[in-house]
Every structure is written in structure tokens, then in C-alpha cells.
Amino acid sequence: MPALYHLSREDLLPDKFKVLGLGRRISKTEKYVIEMKSRVEIYCSHAMEERFWKPLKDRMISIESSDINKHSTFEDIQREIMAIEDDWGRKANKVFFFATSPSHFKVIVQKLIENGLNKSDSKCWTRLVIEKPFGLNLADADRLNNLLLQGFSEEQVYRIDHFLGKESVQNILIFRMSNLMFQPLWNNEYVDHVQITISETIGVEGRVDFFQQTGAVLDMLQSHILQVLAFLAMEPPASFEPEDIRDQKVLLLRSIRRYPSEEIGKYVVRGQYDHGVVKSVHVPGYRDEDPRTSDSLIETYAAMKIFIDNPRWRGVPFYLRTGKRMPERRSFIYIQLKRPLTKDIPMMLQRGQQPMKNSISIDIQPKGGVKLQLGWRPSGLLESVKQADLSIEGQMAVKEPKAYERLLVDVIRGDSTLFIRHDEVREMFRVVEPFLQYFRKEDEQIRNGEIPDYFPNYYAGTQGPPEADTFINKDGREWVWVEPIPNY
Ligand code: BG6
């Protein structure tokens, strides 16, 4: 709803437009509008202004206490749509947005099909928006997809990964493809390694049921981080048409090395937060969040090392990490280049000093932006070469349209570039499933007393478990904690 309000502010809502609210706890229209207004006031980054709220409010309807398990709910939807169409004197295009738990997808899809609400043609389309996780494992994802395909075509299905709606994530591709100077560097000849970090300060925010099923790997790494990785590392597409871009993402994901099960433990570290202090506030450990988590073995932190076995990236490690209750909310990519081949810096005073390694840091949030680290000697007879930064400064916190606004507009326009195709979902599962199987095996050993329970293993407010440092340090590298790029 905040995204729709933003679209109303920007005057981007179509003239003929209605929002139909459904759900078991949904009230009748007058009360629904008041409830939605308070939501917008809480979550919207702009102040609530009646002149922008009114056009949206006037287009809202709700079906009170609508239970998806009841056939009558879908008859009510059908009736409301027909009333709208009578009023408009034309057929309506429809977007069904599933803001529900994935366990409800099946029944909703079946009922939409049974009631003929899936029909789409060139004059009047129907689209379906679903949110991750698209299943809890590969088999589950395939089952969900088969169900969808019983009544909808792939073109009608828009799978949201809201990270792709972030301008800074779209900018990864723009930065790569529109700057010739970086294109020759984008390969194993120049790149030493890459780090992708999504760190959050929040915990599970009351979503215990959800998180107990997903953990950090399914919630963040399988989706957001792999999508960021795909934009960063894929081959240039034949065109910037949605299918060409998505084909390249699939190829990239397919090139990620699968490790033999007996070796997989060498490529991953997982963690779970204990109590601690985040932004000066004392917060409980994951096991104290809720009675259901008291002996949980679910990870709230994960770090992985992966390799992309294609000619461009063969041999370059990509370190991926994500964690809840870390010291800062920050998402960034760090690309470390190799050291120049010259053995030392070719000026008298610098003899013996090694040239530094350049790096490219791409800030995804909070600000967006890019920083290049270069070596430069400040003026002065006795000065040596120092690190100097060149940056494109982010303004995202001020001007960024929120991810959902962009994605909603794209659904209405029928542009699927920033949505995930089922074959991408399959490849993402193929990457993470061996790691999840490894975790589940370890869980069993812990429960049987064969190995000690090592959770919790990091304090809230720290950068993850100490093992994660050892994990990268043994490769002669260290985690980078990139400062957000300042505003102008
Ligand atoms: C969601 C995850 O997809 O992304 C949450 O389910 C996470 O656990 C959130 O907190 C992070 O998104 P953002 O846009 O706030 O970085």
C-alpha cells in the first residue's frame, strides 16, 4: 500500500484503477481504508498528504473477512470485478498479488482457475504476482510451478525478488555495461576476488514461523544475493530485452560449481546470534526471541565461498555473506583487483613499496554509489603512495523510488525484466540445496550428541561468528566492511 501511495504522489496510477483488498482479517471498506492509511503513515517515506491519499482511497474496496478456502470468496471477487467492468463499460485487466504465506498459494491458484479468473488475452490480461520463497526446496518449487502452469502461462506469472526493484541493484548492470573502462577488467585476469555482503541490524521481527523454515540461506542468500551476483557476473546479453537478460542470468547460475558432499563443509560457515547490543540497544538472542526458537538450529548468518566455472571467472572466489543483528544495515559488493605486475613503485622515494591493489566497491544500500580505491602520491618530498578514493556519491536515501513501486509499475506495463523466471528459481535451488543438506545433516549429528551444539556463536551487534574470519583469512584475504558512500 505505501508503494501505491507513492505512485499516487507521482501521478502514476492509471485512471481506471481499483484496489480490491481480501483476507481473513480484512474489514469492510470504510474501516479497511482507515487501516491502510495508518499503514501508509507508518511505512511511507513521505508525509501523508490528503491530496495524494484521496485518489487512492477513492479507488479502494474490500471484501470483509474473505476466507480463501471458501468458494464464495471467489464468487465475491467475480461479482466485484463485474460491477467495476459495468461501471467502466469495458473489461478490466487484473493483477492478483499474493501477499500471503506460500502455504496458501495452492488453494488460491486452484480457486482462481476454477472460477475462470485466470483468463488472459491480447485485449484484457490477467497477471499473478508472487513473493519468494517460491517453494522450500527444488521439488517444492517445481510442484508450485506445475500448479501455476495448470491455469496460467509463464508470461502471466511475476515472481518478485524486491532487491531487483532497487535502483542500486539495477545500477550494477548499468555501471558494468555503460563504462568501457571497466569492461576489460571484468574477468579472472584482473579480479582477485569478490565479496557480496547483505548485513542487517534487525532480527526476525516476529516472523519466527517463516524464518524457522527458511533460515538466512533461503531468505537472503538464495534469492537476493544470487540475483545480485547474477547481475554482477553474467555475460552481456544479446539485447536488454527481458528474455535475453534472464537467459544470461540462468547461464551464470548454472555455471556455479557444485561441490562434492564430503567437501561442502569447507565452503560454508553458519551462525546464529546471541543477545548483544545493536545501535546502543540491548537485544535478545535468537533462541530467546520466542518459545519456538529455544533450541533452534536455524542459521541467522551464513557465509559461502563459491566459484563460477566459466572462462571469464574460473579460479576467482566469490565470498557471499548475510546476517541478521549485525552492526549496520548495509549491502555492498567489493571487487578486489590483483596487484599490478610491477614489483615496486617506480619513483625514488617509493622504492621497495609495493603497489596497492585497486578495488571497486558498489554500495547497494543505504546510499547507493560506487567507490574506486586507487594509489596516489600526495605532494610533498617525503610523501609515499597512499590510498585515494574516487566516488560516485549515492543519493538513494533521498530520492530513491522504493523497490515495490518500480515492480508494481513493471507488472502493469508487462515488463518482466526484473522478475524471476522459473528456470532461475531452479538454478538458485540447485546452488543452495547441497549447503542446506549439509546443515540438516549437521543438525542431526548435534541432536544425536555426535558433535557439540555450537549455536549461538556470534553476539548481536558483531560481524558474525569468529569462524567466518578464519574462513576467509585462511585464503590470505579478509572481510571488508565498506563505509557507506556519503551524500553530497
Ligand atoms: C526480505 C527478507 O526478503 O528482505 C527479510 O525476507 C529481510 O528477512 C528483507 O529483512 C531485507 O530487505 P531490505 O529491502 O530491507 O534490505
Phi then psi for residue 418, to 5 deg, are -95, 20
Phi then psi for residue 478, to 5 deg, are -140, 155
Q: Is 483 helix (H, G, I), strand (E, B) or coil?
A: coil
For position 248, what pLDDT does the model report? 98
- Nearest C-alpha to atom 5 of ligand 1 is from which residue? 219
Instruction: Determine the Cα–Cα distance for residues 193 and 154; give it in Å rounded to an integer.
Output: 36
Domain that holds residue 48: 2-161
Q: Is 437 helix (H, G, I), strand (E, B) or coil?
A: helix
What is the CA(61)–ligand 1 centre distance, in A?
A: 29
| β-sheet bridge partners, residue 302 | 270, 322
Dig out the grid coordinates for 139 from the structure.
Answer: 521439488
475 burial type by CB count under 10 A (0-12 exposed, 13-18 middle, 19+ buried): exposed
- Nearest C-alpha to atom 8 of ligand 1 is from which residue? 219
Q: Which atom of ligand 1 is nearest to the CA of 198?
A: 16
Please report, for the domain that includes residue 353, its CATH number. Answer: 3.30.360.10
Contact 437, 445 (CB under 8 A): no
H-state helical runs in 217-329: 226-233, 242-254
* The one-letter amino acid at 313: W
Dig out the grid coordinates for 127 from the structure.
Answer: 497477471
- Residue 478 within any structural domain of the chain: no
| Residue 17 and residue 71 in one domain | yes
347 burial type by CB count under 10 A (0-12 exposed, 13-18 middle, 19+ buried): exposed
| Residue 334 and residue 290 in one domain | yes
For position 348, what pLDDT does the model report? 59
- Nearest C-alpha to atom 4 of ligand 1 is from which residue? 220
Ramachandran quadrant class, 293 (left: phi over 0; alpha: psi -120 to 50; beta: rest):
alpha
For position 100, what pLDDT does the model report? 81
Last residue of a domain, one of 136, 161, 186: 161
For position 487, what pLDDT does the model report? 45
Dig out the grid coordinates for 321 from the structure.
Answer: 555473506
- Residue 139 within any structural domain of the chain: yes
282 tagged catalytic: no
Substitution site in 43, 131, 163 for ligand 1 pocket (most atoms within 8 Å of beta carbon): 163
Q: Which atom of ligand 1 is nearest to the CA of 403?
A: 14
C-alpha to C-alpha distances, 330 to 95, 362, 366, 480, nearest whole angstrom: 32, 11, 6, 12
Q: What angle do CA 17, 22, 26 make, to 5 degrees?
A: 120
| Residue 393 and residue 299 in one domain | yes
| Residue 180 and residue 264 in one domain | yes
Whole-prediction pTM: 0.92
Consecutive 10-residue averages of pLDDT for the chain (488 residues): 90 92 88 90 84 93 89 92 94 91 86 91 90 89 93 94 93 94 97 98 92 95 97 96 96 97 97 96 97 97 98 98 96 95 71 85 93 90 86 66 86 94 97 97 98 97 96 97 58
Please report, for the domain that includes residue 12, its CATH number. Answer: 3.40.50.720
* Total length of the chain: 488
- Nearest C-alpha to atom 15 of ligand 1 is from which residue? 200
Substitution site in 169, 200, 202, 404 for ligand 1 pocket (most atoms within 8 Å of beta carbon): 200
Phi then psi for residue 234, to 5 deg, are -65, 160
Q: Which atom of ligand 1 is nearest to the CA of 202?
A: 10
What is the CA(376)–ligand 1 centre distance, in A?
A: 38
Rg (CA), the chain: 25
For position 243, what pLDDT does the model report? 95
Substitution site in 130, 204, 219, 332 for ligand 1 pocket (most atoms within 8 Å of beta carbon): 219
What is the CA(6)–ligand 1 centre distance, in A?
A: 20
For position 45, what pLDDT does the model report? 74
Q: Which atom of ligand 1 is nearest to the CA of 331?
A: 16
Contacts with 58 (C-beta within 8 Å, 6 or more apart), sequence order: none
As a dihedral over the C-alpha atoms of residue 83, residue 85, residue 89, residue 94, rounded to 10 degrees, the angle is 160
Report the run of H or E that residue 156 belongs to, with start and end: none
Ligand 1 contacts CB of residue 219 (under 6 A) = yes
Per annotation, catalytic residue among 162, 224, 275, 282:
224
| Residue 242 and residue 364 in one domain | yes
What is the CA(384)–ligand 1 centre distance, in A?
A: 43
- Residue 468 within any structural domain of the chain: yes
Last residue of a domain, one of 161, 191, 226: 161
- Nearest C-alpha to atom 2 of ligand 1 is from which residue? 219
Report the run of H or E that residue 43 belongs to, with start and end: helix 29-43
What is the CA(82)–ligand 1 centre distance, in A?
A: 37
For position 385, what pLDDT does the model report? 84
Ligand 1 contacts CB of residue 200 (under 6 A) = yes
| β-sheet bridge partners, residue 392 | 370
- Residue 411 within any structural domain of the chain: no
| Residue 22 and residue 127 in one domain | yes
Q: Which atom of ligand 1 is nearest to the CA of 207?
A: 8
For position 27, what pLDDT does the model report? 87
| Residue 183 and residue 332 in one domain | yes
What is the CA(375)–ligand 1 centre distance, in A?
A: 36
Nearest to 305 by CA among 481, 185, 475, 138: 475
Substitution site in 220, 299, 407 for ligand 1 pocket (most atoms within 8 Å of beta carbon): 220
What is the CA(163)–ligand 1 centre distance, in A?
A: 8
For position 488, what pLDDT does the model report? 34
| β-sheet bridge partners, residue 8 | none
Ramachandran quadrant class, 476 (left: phi over 0; alpha: psi -120 to 50; beta: rest):
left
| Residue 469 and residue 325 in one domain | yes
Nearest to 196 by CA among 383, 33, 336: 336
Instruction: Determine the Cα–Cα distance for residues 18 and 458; give it in Å rounded to an integer.
Output: 48
Contact 359, 335 (CB under 8 A): yes
Substitution site in 160, 162, 201 for ligand 1 pocket (most atoms within 8 Å of beta carbon): 162
- Nearest C-alpha to atom 6 of ligand 1 is from which residue? 219
Instruction: Determine the Cα–Cα distance for residues 257 and 259; give it in Å rounded to an integer.
Output: 6
| Residue 54 and residue 133 in one domain | yes
Instruction: Determine the Cα–Cα distance for residues 83 and 77; give it in Å rounded to an integer.
Output: 10
What is the CA(261)–ligand 1 centre distance, in A?
A: 30
Contacts with 471 (C-beta within 8 Å, 6 or more apart), sequence order: 269, 303, 305
What is the CA(36)–ligand 1 centre distance, in A?
A: 21
| β-sheet bridge partners, residue 309 | none
Dig out the grid coordinates for 192 from the structure.
Answer: 582477485
Nearest to 333 by CA among 360, 297, 301: 360
Q: Which atom of ligand 1 is nearest to the CA of 329?
A: 16
Last residue of a domain, one of 161, 188, 211: 161
Question: What is the DSSP code string of 238-257?
Answer: SSSSHHHHHHHHHHHHHTBP
- Nearest C-alpha to atom 14 of ligand 1 is from which residue? 163
H-state helical runs in 150-255: 167-178, 208-216, 226-233, 242-254
Contact 156, 217 (CB under 8 A): no
Say if strands 330-337 and 317-323 run parallel, antiparallel, or are unpaired: unpaired
- Residue 482 within any structural domain of the chain: no
Q: What strand order describes the sheet that includes 419-420?
A: 94-98, 126-131, 157-160, 419-420
Dig out the grid coordinates for 189 from the structure.
Answer: 585476469
Q: Which atom of ligand 1 is nearest to the CA of 204?
A: 8
Dig out the grid coordinates for 340 from the structure.
Answer: 599490478
| Residue 121 and residue 168 in one domain | no
H-state helical runs in 217-333: 226-233, 242-254
- Residue 145 within any structural domain of the chain: yes
Phi then psi for residue 483, to 5 deg, are -65, 140
| Residue 149 and residue 244 in one domain | no
- Residue 146 within any structural domain of the chain: yes
- Residue 262 within any structural domain of the chain: yes
- The count of domains in the chain is 2
| Residue 88 and residue 197 in one domain | no
